[in-house]
């Protein structure tokens, strides 16, 4: 059925996989906004379904799935859980554009943390990138200054920090431990989210049919299947390309929300997001060796 994929050159195949992954990821903002249940209810059902999806698909493909509980793996799972739950809460509290763009400030933290942890080279372009990104982030706090927006923006920034640490720990496993086992971290991270959210929302688990179908899609496809596709795609492209393509999510996400429910990001948010996006692309294109996503 998918034999035509084998005829596509590997590099182009990788670009297709990761572009499709970014497309799937980008639908989260719309559905989080559309659902009337709270952030912890969304997080519980989405992550529980995602964990089961990744587990059963991996088993069905007869891939080796080894659960590890060393410090690096445990912290990777914790930070992955932080990405998921903080992003959902942030999207409920602020605009989808703010939440996604501020989450994608992750490369800004990595340009500092990676040289410290992995002893990679630190150059002046990183300093310039950080300064530009900080300026872009400041613009998200102009315009609508309701308390919910401010807290939502701060949680989105925290989600970006978790994303940076998750990426860094996975790369640390690869470089220091020669370990490419990442699916277990994703499964455990989703299980952790489900456990945390369970104790918050218990016993309120009532859903109607529409909510159930949306959460099934978000867990099984938007997180579960998409990560497996992403994991395949990065085998064929450089880490730089994978990060650049993944940031397409930050472009698609607010568009879905605007088309679906009419939420318009502020002019300041749009300008700030474009500044951050441009700074990250400039830094990635101006430096060949790379760092952000595990190859």
**Tokens in use for 151?**
């807290």
Q: What percent of the chain has pLDDT over 70?
A: 83
Backbone angles phi, psi at 8, to 5 degrees: -85, 135
d(CA 157, CA 145): 16
% residues pLDDT > 90 (the chain): 26
Q: What is the mean pLDDT of the chain?
A: 81
Residue 216 has pLDDT above 50, yes or no: yes
Mean pLDDT of all residues in 77-99: 90
Q: By the 8 A CB rule, do 249 and 18 touch?
A: no
pLDDT tens per residue, range 259-292: 888 888 778 878 887 887 787 777 666 654 444 4
pLDDT, residue 294, reads 40
Closest CA to 152 of 87, 79, 85: 87
What integer pLDDT is reported at residue 66 of this predicted model?
77
Average pLDDT over every residue of 17-28: 88
Mean pLDDT of 100-129: 75
Per-residue pLDDT, 68: 78
Radius of gyration of the CA atoms of the chain, in A: 18
Residue with tokens 């690096």: 72
At residue 18, the pLDDT reads 83
Cβ within 8 Å of residue 24, ≥6 positions away: 221, 222, 225, 226, 229
pLDDT of residue 225: 94
Check residue 78 and give its pLDDT: 93
pLDDT at 196: 93
Residue pLDDT, tens place only, 135-149: 887 787 776 556 667
Six token digits for residue 31? 């559905």
- Global pTM value: 0.80
Residue 204's CB: how many other CB atoms inside 10 A? Answer: 12
Q: 86 and 162 in contact (C-beta within 8 Å)?
A: yes
Taking residue 143's Cβ as centre, other Cβ atoms within 10 Å add up to 15
Residue 252 pLDDT greater than 70, yes or no: yes
Q: What is the pLDDT of residue 257?
A: 85
pLDDT of residue 52: 96
Tens digit of each residue's pLDDT (9 = 90 or more) over 31-42: 998 999 999 999
> Which DSSP string corresponds to 72-126?
HHHHHHHHHHHHHHHHHHHHHHS-HHHHHHHHTTHHHHHHHHHHHHH-----HHH
Q: What mean pLDDT is predicted for residues 4-28?
A: 82
Output 107 or 57, whichever has higher pLDDT.
Answer: 57
Task: List the chain domain ranges.
Answer: 35-285
pLDDT in tens, 117-133: 777 676 677 677 778 87
Mean pLDDT of 86-104: 86
Q: Is the pLDDT of residue 178 over 70?
A: no
């Amino acid at each position: 059925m998918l034999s035509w994929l084998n005829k596509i050159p590997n590099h182009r195949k990788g670009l297709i996989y990761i572009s499709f992954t970014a497309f799937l990821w980008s639908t989260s903002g719309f559905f989080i906004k559309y659902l009337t249940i709270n952030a912890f209810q969304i997080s519980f059902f989405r992550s529980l379904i995602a964990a089961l999806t990744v587990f059963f698909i991996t088993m069905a493909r007869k891939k080796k799935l080894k659960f590890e509980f060393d410090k690096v793996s445990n912290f990777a799972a914790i930070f992955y859980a932080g990405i998921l739950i903080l992003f959902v809460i942030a999207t409920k509290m602020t605009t989808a554009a703010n939440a996604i763009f501020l989450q994608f400030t992750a490369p800004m933290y990595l340009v500092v943390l990676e040289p410290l942890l992995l002893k990679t080279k630190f150059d002046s372009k990183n300093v310039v990138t950080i300064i530009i990104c900080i300026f872009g982030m400041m613009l998200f706090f102009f315009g609508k200054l309701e308390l919910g927006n401010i807290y939502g923006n701060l949680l989105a920034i925290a989600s970006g920090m978790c994303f940076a640490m998750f990426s860094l720990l996975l790369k640390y496993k690869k470089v220091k431990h020669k370990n490419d086992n990442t699916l277990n971290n994703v499964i455990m991270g989703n299980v952790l989210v489900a456990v945390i959210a369970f104790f918050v929302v218990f016993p309120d688990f009532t859903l109607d049919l529409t909510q159930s179908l949306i959460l099934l899609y978000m867990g099984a496809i938007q997180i579960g299947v998409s990560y497996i596709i992403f994991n395949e795609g990065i085998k064929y492209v450089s880490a730089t390309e994978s990060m650049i393509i993944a940031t397409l999510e930050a472009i698609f996400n607010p568009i879905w929300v605007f088309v679906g429910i009419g939420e318009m990001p502020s002019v300041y948010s749009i300008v700030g997001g474009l500044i951050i996006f441009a700074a990250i692309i400039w830094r990635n294109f101006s430096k060949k060796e790379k760092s952000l996503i595990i190859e």
